[in-house]
Chain A
């Protein structure tokens, strides 16, 4: 995963964002991503890449900033991604949903996250 895509993931689930929840990379997103790349259907992989691309290059434009997302401050990164979710364009909203869905596959299953939610072990 390149630096621009990492910035997107980090912006969605930042380290120290909301203790006791871990950050995305702190919780091992890299391993999940490798598994996803190896085993997910091509259509899903393609969709996820498109979503990462849109978050990196289009979302800053929605708040009047110059892309890519990785150049923005952490507050602006969050604002840009939130703007995707509030966009009038259905497709833009769907791309953010896809990003969140794939990240959630990893994050929602993580033991530390589940512990924080009192999910029965």
Chain B
């Protein structure tokens, strides 16, 4: 069943499980719970967008499918865009389909320092990842769809002898259109929109779209319903009553706000916000690269992932996004635009030490995040390594786009990147991997969510997204999020509620 909140009137129905959020976490939980034969409702604030309507243009795509029309930012010394999907399928609709299992070295402290080894057992997670990988056709990106900008990293890998490889992605028959950011027009990308949500719907789940959950209602320590408003004119109210449980999967940015609005009180709520800041360089090659043909993100270098805390990824971005960061104004800016066919963009994705916060304020969600001095050192090392990769692949120039550095760097000048300012305001970064704002803990005093995924001191209000992660993951998170959500949903379905 579908309820389109852009047209619906008031709604009040009961379900066994009510899930808030339809992204990686919510859809995976829905997929598991729908299999139990119980009734499930998924509430999604954004619209359901038919893949046939995906546009190659960024502005309408941002307006329709991105939170804050793509303008959400974290405040700190610098403003850093925080990019998220706001549509049926959540950020999986606009992501690049990169799949990484949570590395052992990241999980180990979850067990030893945070005591979560039994709550998030790695062996169980691996079983879930096996299943997800089968269901979402996850495989290494084949050379036929690399395109030149991915192939060049393969060249760099060979020349520099570093650890790098084609990325494993959740795609089926990827057509190498490099359009993942604005939605996959052929549904090759196995996002939640075209996989687990239709699966759950077929099994009877109700999908409510344009339906913003505003509050969780209580009877003592039991969550009994989720209420909110539809987007239709007049903002009709909806209530989804929960006979068994409410699962919150609204993302590490929206989950803490919903919990706070619903009376959950913990000094850890909205704190410990962690991320993987991304910062890109552009390499200019003597021959055409054609960034807009190839798997959007098809190759990465994990050489420094563990000790250096960064990974380098290829990425194709639409001209609209590329242009904004090109140097110059007027004729010089336009000349730079004409050089983009020769450009590849490779980005550092860093496992930051920094911890920020997420709070609901009267003007909206207030995200605070500042890189630590240690992070800035690692970031600059990552940028230098990226430049080294570019030159090893044959680039004639690298454009750093960093205030205080030359606009163009030549081979042999990679070291300049390590002299870039130790000030986050000099860089253009983004955040799209988000964690930790309702973290799991054994003791109520140390976090928001218990080891049974229920918010401490509540019986049946569960958090199943990356808000509960005690740390960032050092790798692209959707697979970890799905594995954890699958594990959580299995446990919840077995619990006596």
B340 in contact with A117 (CB, 8 Å): yes
A37 nearest CB across to chain B (Å): 13
Contact of A13 among B293, B324, B330 (CB under 8 A): B330
A: interface residue count bin: 35 or more
A66 at the interface (CB under 8 A from B): no
What separation, in Å, do the CA atoms of A120 and B425 have in the docked complex?
Answer: 35
B497 at the interface (CB under 8 A from A): no
Contact partners of A109 in chain B: CB under 8 A: 56-59, 318-320
A14 in contact with B331 (CB, 8 Å): yes
What separation, in Å, do the CA atoms of A43 and B62 have in the docked complex?
Answer: 15
B323 nearest CB across to chain A (Å): 4
B327 in contact with A108 (CB, 8 Å): no
A50 at the interface (CB under 8 A from B): no
B115 at the interface (CB under 8 A from A): no
Contact of A81 among B319, B322, B329, B403 (CB under 8 A): B329
A94 in contact with B71 (CB, 8 Å): no
What separation, in Å, do the CA atoms of A114 and B318 have in the docked complex?
Answer: 10
What separation, in Å, do the CA atoms of A43 and B293 have in the docked complex?
Answer: 34
Contact partners of B425 in chain A: CB under 8 A: 90
Contact of A108 among B320, B329, B338 (CB under 8 A): B320
Look across to chain A and name the residue whose beta carbon is closest to the beta carbon of B424. Answer: A90
Look across to chain A and name the residue whose beta carbon is closest to the beta carbon of B323. Answer: A104
B142 at the interface (CB under 8 A from A): no
Among B308-333, those with CB < 8 Å from A are 318-333
B: interface residue count bin: 35 or more
B337 at the interface (CB under 8 A from A): yes
Among A83-119, those with CB < 8 Å from B are 84-85, 90, 93-94, 96-97, 100-101, 104-109, 113-114, 116-119
B68 at the interface (CB under 8 A from A): yes
B330 in contact with A108 (CB, 8 Å): no
A97 in contact with B324 (CB, 8 Å): yes
Contact of A118 among B290, B326, B328 (CB under 8 A): B290
A54 nearest CB across to chain B (Å): 13
B59 in contact with A85 (CB, 8 Å): no
A17 in contact with B331 (CB, 8 Å): yes
Contact partners of B292 in chain A: CB under 8 A: 117-120
B59 in contact with A105 (CB, 8 Å): yes
Contact partners of A101 in chain B: CB under 8 A: 324
B444 at the interface (CB under 8 A from A): no
B70 nearest CB across to chain A (Å): 9
What separation, in Å, do the CA atoms of A90 and B333 have in the docked complex?
Answer: 20
Contact partners of A84 in chain B: CB under 8 A: 329
Contact partners of B288 in chain A: CB under 8 A: 118
Contacts beyond the supplied A12-B329, A14-B331, A117-B338: 15 A-B pairs with Cβ under 8 Å: A11-B329, A11-B330, A44-B71, A77-B330, A90-B78, A96-B329, A97-B428, A105-B58, A105-B59, A105-B320, A108-B323, A109-B56, A117-B319, A118-B341, A119-B292
Q: Which 7 residue pairs are nearest across A and B when measured between Cβ atoms?
A: A108-B320, A108-B319, A18-B334, A78-B330, A81-B329, A104-B323, A105-B59
Please give the residue numbers on chain B whose beta carbons come within 8 Å of chain A beta carbons, in ascending order: 56-59, 62-63, 68-69, 71, 78-79, 177, 288, 290, 292-293, 318-335, 337-338, 340-341, 403, 425, 428
Please name 8 pairs of A and B residues whose Cβ atoms are closer than 8 Å in the assembled complex, sorted by A: A11-B329, A12-B329, A14-B331, A85-B329, A108-B321, A109-B59, A118-B290, A118-B341
